[in-house]
Chain A
Amino acid sequence: MKTTGEHWLRELAPQVLGALVRRYGDFGAAEDAVQEALTAAAFQWPRTGVPEDPRAWLIQVAARKLTDQVRSESARRRRELKMVSETPPQESVVLPPDDTLVGDDDTLVLLFMCCHPALTRASAIALTLRAVGGLTTAEIASAFLVPEPTMAQRISRAKQSIKSSGVGFALPLPAEQRVRLGAVLHVLYLIFNEGYATTSGPTHQRVALSSEAIRLARAAHALLPDSSEVSGLLALMLLTDARSAARSGPNGEIVPLDEQDRALWNQDAIAQGAQLVTDAMTRGTAGSYLLQAAIAAVHDEAQRAEDTDWPQIVELYAMLGRISDNPMVALNHAVAVAMARGPSEGLSLLQKLDHDPRIQNHYRLDAVRAHLLERAGNVTAALPYYQAAAEKTASIPERNYLLLKLARLKAASSPP
């Protein structure tokens, strides 16, 4: 879909899909029909010009494809079964009048459906990118480095699960809204993280998942402008992504926050993110995305690393720790305490984590301990922890960073 209409089409895809699912119920068939309509548009619009109401055009074409599909499917079944009397009731689907489908924007309903907690995370991610993000299966497969048939299968399984679980096409009831929104935000967060963790340097082949996540979060924010957690997630993404140009070297090596060239940070994104945080904070209780965004904003607003307001970050992590029992938060809190009050206070906070089975074997605990020991001037004690962290991480850039650190410290601590 690399045509002039691409941007338009991507924006319209979920609205068209939502309209069709609302009308016909069958998510899988509607999704196929929308893909066909988008393909038709990508071919026709550059030649004939974009129609006056592109959304209505797409809905019409997709509805026609869906009807054709249902008809040919039932015709096929009829031929196979040779039992005309068992023709399924969908056979009677007729093309709706011109404007019955062109109603409200169903993107939000669609988002809730694709991120349904009944789906596995991988399925929800794939389905969201396909149905709401409008990416092709090939693009999603290449973003996750799996073969296209594998991704196609994952998407079709997800549609099947939605069909069999009987999830209706409607906004969740107010009582479930919070949990269901949590699932939506988690999926968007995972998409962003996948992109952020694996993308560095120029990406000609892979779809930028982090940009895609930001686009989806923006859409969610536009639909739910009063939700402080949606604002928080969007802000967190913007404030994190703002540093992307500075966070890796020419060979994809990690450049830690305190060594980054802050002139490379995207000030527009920082301003947008910080504004979202400020606005949302005034609306009441802060949830975990908003607090993480607030921490990112404190980092981003420091002119130099040494200007960072660590006491404020300590306070924000303490708040985060009170609302979620997450050892990773406790670990980051210990780092902030070390920065604000000295490494020995940070190190003593790590002792509690040594007994927490959720994190005691995680490379980050070793990496943080190594870092704090190094800051405390105890390089000899730091070395085995850098080594252990390098052996445990599953990320190649992270491993290379830790090994390089280890090699430098060894070279500096032994006589030439």
Chain B
Amino acid sequence: MKFMLMMHAPRGNGEYQISHWKPEEFRAHIQFMKGLNKDLREAGELVGAEGLAPPGQARIVRSEGEGAPEVTDGPFAESKEFLVGYWIVDVENADRAYAIAGRASTAPGPGGKPLGIKIEVRQVMSAPPDSL
């Protein structure tokens, strides 16, 4: 079963909160994430993972079919959280996906304390292959 683990962070001013951390705090955080990814890769569970650029650079694109698509600043000025990165994992069951998300959530922040990051876990739907 494949799951997408989406890591959400407080929106703040549209910049990474992480940029206000001390270097050693930042390094510990990166170290943690690298360790997590290494373990997932070695377990044969990692399908993909990416981190996303800060939301200050995000744009919302819309088109209703006529003229050039409309491109505006985003994301969602009203939303308090934004997506900072995701994993796609292929695991035995939902509990395993929750366990991975649980571990990711404890990534260390300022003072080395677990951040308690919100991770949204969604099952990836299975689809027949493209007929191409």
Q: Which of B48, B124, B126, B128 contacts A201 (CB 8 A)?
A: B128
Contacts of A201 in B (CB 8 A): 128, 131
Can you show 12 pairs from A to B with CB atoms below 8 A apart? A120-B92, A122-B44, A126-B44, A150-B45, A157-B43, A197-B126, A198-B128, A202-B131, A203-B129, A204-B132, A252-B131, A397-B127
A-contacting residues, B32-52, CB 8 Å: 41-48
Instruction: Contact check, B128 vs A154: say whether CB atoms are below 8 A apart.
Output: no
Contacts of A199 in B (CB 8 A): 128-129
Contacts of B47 in A (CB 8 A): 146-147, 150
Asked if B125 is an interface residue, CB under 8 A from chain A, the answer is yes
**Alpha-carbon separation in the docked complex, A144 to B43 (Å):** 16
**Alpha-carbon separation in the docked complex, A192 to B99 (Å):** 29
Instruction: Contact check, A151 vs B44: say whether CB atoms are below 8 A apart.
Output: yes
Asked if A303 is an interface residue, CB under 8 A from chain B, the answer is no
Contacts of B129 in A (CB 8 A): 145, 198-199, 203, 205-206
**Alpha-carbon separation in the docked complex, A120 to B1 (Å):** 13
Asked if B123 is an interface residue, CB under 8 A from chain A, the answer is yes
Separation in Å of the B95 CB from the closest CB of chain A?
13
Asked if A25 is an interface residue, CB under 8 A from chain B, the answer is no
Contacts of B45 in A (CB 8 A): 150
Asked if A173 is an interface residue, CB under 8 A from chain B, the answer is no
Instruction: Contact check, B43 vs A153: say whether CB atoms are below 8 A apart.
Output: yes
B-contacting residues, A8-50, CB 8 Å: none
**Alpha-carbon separation in the docked complex, A248 to B131 (Å):** 13
Instruction: Contact check, B127 vs A198: say whether CB atoms are below 8 A apart.
Output: yes
| Chain B, interface residues (CB within 8 Å), range | 20 to 34
**Alpha-carbon separation in the docked complex, A205 to B132 (Å):** 8
Contacts of B90 in A (CB 8 A): 122, 144, 146, 150
Q: Would you list the 7 A-B pairs with minimal beta carbon distance, nearest first? A: A154-B44, A153-B44, A396-B127, A200-B128, A252-B128, A201-B131, A396-B125
**Alpha-carbon separation in the docked complex, A122 to B96 (Å):** 13
**Alpha-carbon separation in the docked complex, A146 to B90 (Å):** 8
Instruction: Contact check, B48 vs A396: say whether CB atoms are below 8 A apart.
Output: no
| Chain A, interface residues (CB within 8 Å), range | 20 to 34
A-contacting residues, B112-132, CB 8 Å: 123-132
Chain A, Cβ-Cβ closest to B41: A153
Asked if A394 is an interface residue, CB under 8 A from chain B, the answer is yes
**Alpha-carbon separation in the docked complex, A248 to B129 (Å):** 13
Contacts of B42 in A (CB 8 A): 153, 157
**Alpha-carbon separation in the docked complex, A361 to B79 (Å):** 31
Chain B, Cβ-Cβ closest to A204: B132
**Alpha-carbon separation in the docked complex, A149 to B43 (Å):** 11
**Alpha-carbon separation in the docked complex, A45 to B42 (Å):** 36
**Alpha-carbon separation in the docked complex, A152 to B44 (Å):** 8
Chain A, Cβ-Cβ closest to B91: A122
Asked if A332 is an interface residue, CB under 8 A from chain B, the answer is no
Separation in Å of the B130 CB from the closest CB of chain A?
8
Separation in Å of the A234 CB from the closest CB of chain B?
25
Chain B, Cβ-Cβ closest to A143: B129
Contacts of A399 in B (CB 8 A): 125
**Alpha-carbon separation in the docked complex, A146 to B129 (Å):** 13
**Alpha-carbon separation in the docked complex, A394 to B125 (Å):** 5
Contact with A along B55-72 (1 / 0, CB 8 A): 000000000000000000
- Chain A CB count within 10 A is highest, among B41, B92, B125, for B125
Contacts of A153 in B (CB 8 A): 41-44
Chain A, Cβ-Cβ closest to B129: A206
**Alpha-carbon separation in the docked complex, A147 to B42 (Å):** 13
Known contacts A157-B42, A157-B43: does B131 contact A394 (CB below 8 Å)? no
Instruction: Contact check, A150 vs B41: say whether CB atoms are below 8 A apart.
Output: yes
**Alpha-carbon separation in the docked complex, A197 to B127 (Å):** 9
Contacts of A206 in B (CB 8 A): 129
Contacts of B125 in A (CB 8 A): 394-396, 399
**Alpha-carbon separation in the docked complex, A123 to B44 (Å):** 9
